[in-house]
Amino acid sequence: MTPTANLLSTPLNALHIELGARMVPFAGYSMPVQYPAGLMAEHHHTRSAAGLFDVSHMGQLHLTGPDAAAAFESLIPVDVMGLGVNKQRYGLLLNDEGGIIDDLMFVNRDVANGGDLFVIVNGACKHGDLAHIQARIGSRCTITPQFERALLALQGPQAVTALARLLPGVEQLVFMTGMAAQWQGADLYVTRSGYTGEDGFEISLPAPIAEAFARALLAQPEVKPVGLGARNSLRLEAGLCLYGNDIDTQTTPVEAQLNWAIQKVRRNGGARAGGFPGAAKILAQLDGSAPLQRVRVGLVGLERIPVREHVELHNAEGEKIGEVTSGLLGPSADKPVALAYVQAKYTEMGTRLNAMVRGKAVPMEVSPLPFVPNRYHRG
């Protein structure tokens, strides 16, 4: 029924099947979209306890060498050189037009003293990202893909309790920091981060121990497996972009309202302003000298009708002024929520717009993000 012949599988494939997961193709991998509990139960379990996600399809890369931080900084509009040891940041690979090639997370594992920059990119983009990074900075640093390594996310308010039983010390991490850890003789790296809006962790580990480690986590009373379906509803409620839906090569970081990811040192007037692909356009958008044609906003539905990606947005006069890029009925928000791009004059909070669902106008309102408050552990 499902074409599985050319799909890759993660190191947890047998465990997913044993747990009764419904497997779907995603980013070239056979991935669990949901387990028998179902998307809604998995979503609520993550918000109330702890959900275990297999995100091993994502791409892990190590950048090493004395020039690695400066080299990586030439690809992303982010302060890499000023990032402390074991600190993590969100970044955006850009093309020369300022469009987003991918979004990523990276940790400085003391790259200045023989360590590395540990970079995690999206699964569907990882081969293209690797080629891009090699082409642009391959002569300045050593780029080592670690695509065979497993990556697990443990997310939710009880994630810390469960994980600290297996890896004592992780409870001392704060949001967007990381530490090396050992489990049964294997080298793990744990960051306190994730993509659900909840407190939680991501754990990078060698493939051969991934299943045993996942089973050890699932044996904790707080932990249940959660599939990609709930991962999507959780990230959307948290107001986080999905690459390919909400950001892509046609979108700049400023249009996507990811300005917070561009530190002052890389902006006009900063000590290392510019120097990344598309800098002229992005910096002009940031300081307002280049007006934005389209801007990402959050929308909430005023009627209980889900509004999905590609739905057109109209103003009161019936003119098309934007389009939804992600949308669903938020299980925790308990109302329709969406991310959308609209013309700049429709971005004021509370602006009423009509989503055209099956030919009918469904009223929505521009809303602050996130839709569900973040609960990161900032210490």
Partner 1 sequence: MSLKYTEDHEWLQIDGDTAVVGITHHAQDALGDVVFVDLPEIGKSFAAKEVAGVVESVKAAADVYMPVDGEIIEVNEELRADPSLANSDPLNKGWFFKVKLSNPGQVDGLLDETAYQQLSAS
Minimal distance in Å, beta carbon 245 to partner 1?
A: 13
Minimal distance in Å, beta carbon 335 to partner 1?
A: 11
Sign of the Cα pseudo-torsion (69, 74, 75, 78, in order): positive
Compare residues 233 and 252 and give the one whose CB is closer to partner 1. 233
Give the pair of three-digit tokens for residue 135: 């082409």
Minimal distance in Å, beta carbon 192 to partner 1?
A: 27
Minimal distance in Å, beta carbon 308 to partner 1?
A: 7
Distance between CA 307 and CA 162 in Å, rounded? 36
Binding site for partner 1 (CB under 8 A): 33-34, 38-40, 43, 229, 232-233, 304-306, 308, 328-329, 331, 358
- Nearest-5° angle of CA 91, CA 92, CA 93? 125
Distance between CA 71 and CA 85 in Å, rounded? 17
Compare residues 220 and 233 and give the one whose CB is closer to partner 1. 233
Compare residues 34 and 196 and give the one whose CB is closer to partner 1. 34
Q: Is the peptide bond before 145 cis (omega within 30 degrees of 0)?
A: no
User: DSSP class of residue 136?
Assistant: H
Which residues contact residue 202 at a Cβ distance below 8 angstroms, ignoring those fewer than 6 apart? Answer: 55, 105, 120, 151, 152, 153, 154, 190, 191, 193, 194
Give the pair of three-digit tokens for residue 91: 């970044």
Minimal distance in Å, beta carbon 298 to partner 1?
A: 18
Distance between CA 92 and CA 290 in Å, rounded? 20
Exposure b/e, 215-227, CB count within 10 A at least 16 = b: ebbeebebbbbbb
Compare residues 328 and 339 and give the one whose CB is closer to partner 1. 328
Minimal distance in Å, beta carbon 45 to partner 1?
A: 13
Which residues contact residue 80 at a Cβ distance below 8 angstroms, ignoring those fewer than 6 apart? Answer: 69, 70, 72, 73, 89, 91, 106, 108, 117
Type and span of the H or E element at 186: strand 186-191
Compare residues 252 and 332 and give the one whose CB is closer to partner 1. 332
Minimal distance in Å, beta carbon 196 to partner 1?
A: 15
Compare residues 7 and 305 and give the one whose CB is closer to partner 1. 305
Minimal distance in Å, beta carbon 180 to partner 1?
A: 36
Distance between CA 104 and CA 121 in Å, rounded? 5
Minimal distance in Å, beta carbon 154 to partner 1?
A: 22
Compare residues 11 and 32 and give the one whose CB is closer to partner 1. 32
Compare residues 159 and 311 and give the one whose CB is closer to partner 1. 311
244: exposed, middle or buried (C-beta count within 10 Å: 0-12, 13-18, 19+)?
middle
Give the pair of three-digit tokens for residue 164: 């600290």
Picking from 326, 369, 375, the residue whose alpha carbon sits closest to that of residue 155 is 375
Compare residues 295 and 328 and give the one whose CB is closer to partner 1. 328
